[in-house]
Amino acid sequence: MPKSKAPESTLEETNYLQHLTTTSAPVCVKLVTNEELRGVIEFFDSTFLRLTRQDGPNLFIYKHEIKYLYEETQNA
């Protein structure tokens, strides 16, 4: 019996980005160039996200330029 293929999309990316947007969680975005940007995701769609930063101008980042992103933990 042949193995089934993994689904093209699970919609988990959308759920995760919606969670980060709703909670205004601070994130680190690592680009394919290895540059790291920090801020809060204010808006996203299928092709880009808007990163709001305190230490610089707000940025629109195309998703194909993102290697990965993660929620930053806040030290107590």
Q: Whole-model pTM?
A: 0.81
Residue 69: what pLDDT? 95
From the list 71, 18, 9, 12, the residue with the least C-alpha distance to 45 is: 18
What is the fold of 12-71?
SH3 type barrels. (2.30.30)
Report whether 47 contacts 62 (CB < 8 A): yes
Report whether 16 contacts 10 (CB < 8 A): no
- Domain ranges, ordered by start, for the chain: 12-71
pLDDT, tens digit, 9 for 90 and up, residues 21-51: 999 999 999 999 999 999 999 999 999 999 9
CA 46: distance to chain centroid? 11
> Using CA atoms, how far apart are residues 61 and 17, in angstroms rounded to an integer?
14
